[in-house]
Amino acid sequence: MGKLNINGKDMNATENLMQKERFRPVDKAGFGGVALGNGFQYHTDYACLEAVEAAWKAGIRLFDTSPWYGLGISERRMGLFLKDQPRESFTLSTKVGRLMLPQEDFKMDQSLWKGKLNFGYRYDYTASGVRRSLEDSLQRLGLSSIDMVFIHDLSPDNGDMKDSYSYYFEQAAHGAMPELTRMREEGIIKGWGLGVNTVAPILQTLEVADPDVFLSACQYSLIKHEEGLNQVFPKVAERGISIIVGAPLCAGFLAGKNRYLYDGTFPAGVKEKLNALYQVAKNHNVDLRTAALQFSAAPEEVSGVIPGAHTAEQAVENANSFNVKIPNDFWSELKHEKLIEQNCPVPNM
């Protein structure tokens, strides 16, 4: 049987990696921090604090943020509430790969982040960069520890990297990835992986490192799920690795927002598919946003789903959606109409 070299160690892929006990969040229902960073539009500190508090009161205990979300703003806002909760009572993830650099009124062309930004940034996927990034995040959050760490936006679709993806991946493979494995072994974190919007970097990382959990955004929703389902899920299942689904509502597209994901465009066919999904939902008196969240949470490989919210009402609606009973006939019609793959796991209420 062949050997797999991971972080400088020879490991038998079948015997060692498949038997590894990997960290998974306790609850699948989560809260994503893009909106807290003024994603798409400016939100007040107070409204964001209310949203996190409302999610907590509704039972949410899985929270995800990033230095990149508002260039520090999301972490500050999320930590403002979480710092006062018992640390063992919730699971928190943040990200590494960009270091924030103080800069008054930093401006970005066509930025997703609105409001006043007082930090610039630079990419750094080295071992020392990971350590510094996490120390900075703890300061912004006001917390003593972080459970899961995702190497952020290390993906060919990241146009900000221009033609440097291969360079940065090599930097991470020799720096961030083994360093995060060491931090896991030291007990500083519980698990790590990538936080990306495409499947290729996930598959590439599985070849060179020993991750625990991936945050896969934009790849497992009612609109788009084929690659995640058929390419990623079987691979991670072999090694006991789990997936946290980001953008389960396609940045609000499945919840009535006139936008699809993050680049301001609508790919061919997505509006037509949305209309078809709405029609099936109407046939069964089902709320499509609720169905979308439950769909993303259904696979065994999925350990978390993290829709965002910037109001208390949104946070409560999202949390409650995970507990609604949806008739099996709804899912059957989606498969009959070929709106979801035939092999998609679906909730069984």
Among the options 28, 95, 165, 212, which is catalytic? 95
pLDDT tens digits, residue range 259-289? 999 988 999 999 999 999 999 999 999 999 9
13 backbone φψ class: left, alpha, beta (φ>0; ψ -120 to 50): alpha
Whether 110 contacts 160, CB under 8 Å: no
**Cα–Cα distance measured from residue 253 to residue 6, given in angstroms and rounded to the nearest whole number:** 39
**Cα–Cα distance measured from residue 204 to residue 73, given in angstroms and rounded to the nearest whole number:** 31
Write out the two tokens for 291: 């169905």
Whether 199 contacts 227, CB under 8 Å: yes
Among the options 28, 64, 124, 220, which is catalytic? 64
Q: 333: exposed, middle or buried (C-beta count within 10 Å: 0-12, 13-18, 19+)?
A: middle
- 110 or 50, higher pLDDT: 50
Active site residue 69: yes
pLDDT tens digits, residue range 288-327? 999 999 999 999 999 999 999 999 999 999 999 999 999 9
Active site residue 338: no
Active site residue 83: no
Structure pTM?
0.94
The sign of the CA dihedral 201, 204, 209, 210 is positive
Among the options 28, 69, 123, 124, which is catalytic? 69
Q: Which residues pair with 148 in a beta bridge?
A: 93, 191
pLDDT tens digits, residue range 111-168? 899 999 999 999 999 999 999 999 999 999 999 999 999 999 999 999 999 899 999 9
